[in-house]
Amino acid sequence: MSHSLYESLWVFLFVGIASVFVFKRLRFGSILGYLVAGAALGPWGAAFITDYHSIMQVAELGIIFFLFLVGLELSPKRLWVMRQLVFVLGTSQLLVVGLAMAVVMSFLCSHASLQSTLAMGLALALSSTAVAMQILTEKRELTTEFGQKTFGILLFQDLAVIPLLILFPLLASGGAQIDFHSGLIATLKGLGAIALLIPLGIYVIPALFRYLAKAQMQELLTAASLFIVLTLAVLMQFVGLSMALGAFLGGVLLANSNYRHELQADVEPFKGLLLGLFFVSVGVSIDFGVLLNRPFLVLGLTALFMVVKVILNWISLKIPQRCLRSRSDVLTAILLGQGSEFAFVLFTLGTQLGLFQPSETSVAILVVSLSMALSPLLNGAGNALVNSIAKRKDTRTFDAEVDHNRVILAGYGRVGQIVHRILRLQNINCTVLESDVEQVDFVRKYGVQVFFGDASRLDLLKTAGAHSAQMIIVTIDDPKSSIHTVETVLKNFPHLKIFARVRNREHALKLMELGIPQHHLVRETFHSSLYLTEEILRQMGLSFSAASETVQRFQEHDEQVLSQQKQYLNNEDEMIKFTLKSAEELRKIFEQDKPMEKVAS
């Protein structure tokens, strides 16, 4: 059945939006939604999409744009700083997992040759950059310790695809006749292409953007951004290397460019759509016929593959680090527990070279596809399990080690750290609670005693000594968690004085409604904004005293308004009327203040 372009586009967008919306609401993430959409549209669903290879060619652009944007976030200096994560951990992961997987494959496929099992093991050692990075991005964990480890290993794997593509033909020939001349030519072509990227990224592309920017045509800049990404990718493909690698290296070279943000803004929307299309194409490619004919074999192999790979990933991280207690290693091992999109390329190449039988390839592709589909679920379950174990472990440590101090500090983020440091300078000891596992691990490395736990839990507050403490300082970043904590303290420990950092006006009003005095609440951006405005007024011509008086008058009026707004917290219409009336009163106060200096024009 043929479909018009408009019909195809409408169906694709409708199914994609519906699936992603449902799965995001169920907290399974967008990736699983796209995969289900692909399966629904593929030959084993509505059979709306039958030409898998055509859609895959377009979908690969999503990975290209994705890696280009990743490169834009990594300047060469930062990449050099990450060299240990990339090359040490990356090499360890690929070799340990690849060789161990080859041993496992030799038991599962006793008839296969040593070269075939080694090729299959190395292909299965790779993990999906698209899946893992999408999960890290959605959860905003790319900057965490385990996020950086994961990214470094994935980056090395992307680089390793190139030598693997060269290695497979050598394995197919038995390694007896290695054409060193051809290998040398391929290597020189690759190095030459990479060398060509350097002047392009430093001189040519910025000059092109300067010229196009003068035309003041946004669509021209957008077209140029897409053209640049595709040019870098095609250049690498021309010399036989990965298109994704070319896009990534181009992004790295442009990371320090003045036009980095322009490129990022132009490419980002296309990346999101095309990356979604990539996951849809993976869903289309899943051969449910093999699954229906051999369900126990396929599901068993998928479960075995993911469990074994997670264990091997964890072992490979321990070898170079020699650290047996790192929660980030466990999280990284889980997140890398699926197969890679590049495995499809290697499986196809291996079949063409005679390394793999077609029946083996179809099962392997299905196992990798299912592992990618199950990866968000595995990651969510793994995170919950790791955090649950850490919670029990850190609670026991808490019971054994904590001294009942006069002050409890709930939250050890940006604000909590400053409060804690100043109190320590005055020899005021605090019992510090923090619910972010990664943050607890990080600050403990610097000798700060922080205990893992949710400060809104009554049992934890009792263990922390809330019954004998005098004060609790709530610097939790999330307003809902902050309010919940204050409610628990007020209900069970009414003797405690409560001081709180609040995110915004609404947060402050809700805490005031609970009975917290206004002078015990500090809006995190309020005072910094006042200080900034005072400096601006001085630079604009006001004297020191006039600028200070202006800001002070505004502060006094705003705090008075805040105390009165509490009565309108649950009545939005009255709140709006009162706020507008207060703003008009403030304007009249300044207009009637004749002695005030005026800003120089």
What does the pLDDT look like over 124-141, one tens digit per residue? Answer: 999 988 788 878 877 767
Cα–Cα separations (whole angstroms), residue 402 to 318, 453, 473: 31, 13, 17
For CA atoms 53, 55, 60, 63, give the dihedral sign. Answer: negative
Rounded distance between C-alpha atoms, residue 78 and residue 235, angstroms: 25
| Amino acid present at 487 | E
First to last CA, the chain: 71
pLDDT at 450: 82
Using alpha carbons, select from 277, 442, 304 the residue that is nearest to residue 364: 304
pLDDT at 499: 94
Rounded distance between C-alpha atoms, residue 54 and residue 388, angstroms: 45
pLDDT at 468: 85
Cα–Cα separations (whole angstroms), residue 330 to 33, 100, 364, 385: 26, 18, 25, 11
Please list, in sequence order, all residues whose beta carbon lies within 8 angstroms of the beta carbon of residue 188, skipping any fewer than 6 positions away.
Answer: none
pLDDT at 174: 62
| Amino acid present at 593 | D
Rounded distance between C-alpha atoms, residue 534 and residue 484, angstroms: 35
Rounded distance between C-alpha atoms, residue 202 and residue 259, angstroms: 11
pLDDT at 518: 87
pLDDT at 109: 80
Using alpha carbons, select from 72, 78, 74 the residue that is nearest to residue 251: 72
Region of 544 on the Ramachandran plot (φ > 0 left; ψ -120 to 50 alpha; else beta): alpha
Tokens standing for residue 479 = 């307003």
Tokens standing for residue 241 = 């290397």
What SS3 state is found at 449?
coil
> Which domains, and CATH codes, for the chain?
54-262+293-389 (1.20.1530.20), 402-522 (3.40.50.720), 525-601 (no CATH)
pLDDT at 401: 44
On whether the CB atoms of residues 248 and 71 are closer than 8 A, the answer is yes
pLDDT at 263: 73
Low-confidence ranges of the chain (pLDDT < 70): 1-9, 27-29, 49-59, 73-79, 140, 143, 162, 174-187, 190, 216, 240-242, 258-259, 261, 321-326, 387-404, 437-438, 441, 569-570, 585-601
pLDDT at 13: 75
Regarding pTM above 0.85, the answer is no
For CA atoms 522, 525, 531, 534, give the dihedral sign. Answer: negative
On whether the CB atoms of residues 200 and 250 are closer than 8 A, the answer is yes
HSE at residue 82, side-chain half, CA atoms within 13 A, is 22
